[in-house]
Structure 1
C-alpha cells in the first residue's frame, strides 16, 4: 500500500492538536477565572490550574516532538533515560497507572524511539481505569527488541488500530487515531523489521523487532 506522506503528516498534526486541546483549554479557563477573581485564595487556585496546564502542555510537546517529529538533531541515537522520563510523565497524567521497566540498553536509534513512544501512547490509552504498563527493551546483538504489556480491569484498544499496525487499513480510511499505528508500521518496515500485537479482556501486548543496519530517517 502506497502512503501519501502529506496525508499522513496531516493526520499526525490532527492527533497532536487533539491531544494538546485539553491542557491548553485548561490554561485558557484558568486565565479567564484569574481575570475576574479578586479573592486571594481563589486566585491562588487559578494560578495552580495554570501551572498544571503548563506542565501538561510541556510534557505532551516534548513527548510528541520525539514521537511524531524529527527531534534529536543529527544524533543517530537518543538516551533511553530521556525516553523513559517522557513516558513516565505521560502515564502519570490523570490515571492510576504504574510503569515498570526492564532496560538492556542505554540508548536507542531514533527509529526505535519512535516505535517505543507511539506504542507507549496506545498502551497508556488502553488503561482508562488504570493498571500496570511494563516496558522491556533489549538488544539481541542483531536487532532491538521492544515489548510492552498493559494490564488493567478493562482494555480499551480499537480494533482499527490493530488493523493499521498490520497494514490492513486503506489509506483513505486512516484517521488521527490510527495514524500513529501507521507510523509505527512504516518505521518498523523501513528498518527491515515488524510489529506484533495481541489483546485479551485484561491485557494488551505490543512488540517490535528492529534489525540493526537498516536505519531510516526517522
Structure 2
C-alpha cells in the first residue's frame, strides 16, 4: 500500500465516522433519556427514537460497507438490486427527495456498483432543499454505463469534489469530503474508464463508463 493509498483509506474512514456520528450519538442520547424517564408515554417515545436511530445506523453501515469497503461476500458481479436497496434506505429518511430508477441490467461489476453508490451519495448531498434523484445503470458489451441526475432548487456541489472526479484536485487538498470522489477516480483510471459531470443551477449530472476489469 502506497502512502497515497494509506491517506485515502484514512480519509474514507474519517468520512464514514463523520456520517455515523449523528445516528450513533442519537442512540446514546436516547439511552440517557430512557434511563431517567418514568412516564410510560415518554418511554415509548424514547424506544421509537432508539429504533429509528438504530435502523439509520445499520442502513448507513451497510451502504458504506459496499460504497467504500472491500465488500466481502460479494462476487465480481453484484446484483443491482443490492445497490437499489441500499440507496432506497439512505433516502428513506429524507421525504423531500424523490427517487427514480432505470436499471435494465440485473447485475454490474463490483467497481461499477461502488461508483453507482458514491454517485448516488454525491447526488443526494447536492439536494439539501429536496428534489429528484434519478439513477440509471446498464451493463452491455463488457462495459458499465452509469448516470445519476440530481435536480432541485439551488444545487449544492463542492467544486473540489468535481476536481477530484476529474483528477485535477491540487496536491494537499484531499479531504474526507473529497476522498470518495478521489477513490472513484482511481477506480476509473485502473479500469481505463471515464468519469464526467455537468453542473447547472438546478441540476447535477454524474456519468461513468467503466470497462469490466
TM-score clears 0.5: yes
**TM-score, normalising length from structure 1?**
0.94
After TM superposition, the structure 1 = structure 2 runs for residues 1-218 of structure 1, keeping only pairs within 5 Å, are 4-73=4-73, 75-212=75-212, 215=213
In structure 2, do the counterparts of structure 1 residues 95 and 172 end up closer, same or farther at CA, with 3 Å as the change threshold?
A: farther
Contact 1:160 1:169 (8 Å CA) reproduced: yes
How far did 1:32 drift?
Answer: 0.5
In structure 2, do the counterparts of structure 1 residues 204 and 3 end up closer, same or farther at CA, with 3 Å as the change threshold?
A: farther
Aligned residue for 2:192, secondary structure, equals: coil
**TM-score, normalising length from structure 2?**
0.96
How far did 1:171 drift?
Answer: 4.2
In structure 2, do the counterparts of structure 1 residues 66 and 46 end up closer, same or farther at CA, with 3 Å as the change threshold?
A: same
Aligned Cα RMSD in Å?
1.3
How far did 1:118 drift?
Answer: 0.7
In structure 2, do the counterparts of structure 1 residues 74 and 80 end up closer, same or farther at CA, with 3 Å as the change threshold?
A: closer
Distance in 2 (alpha carbons) for counterparts of 1:65 and 1:107: 18
Number of residue pairs aligned between Structure 1 and Structure 2: 212
How far did 1:58 drift?
Answer: 0.2
Structure 1 runs, 4 residues or longer, greater than 4 Å off: none
Contact 1:95 1:128 (8 Å CA) reproduced: no
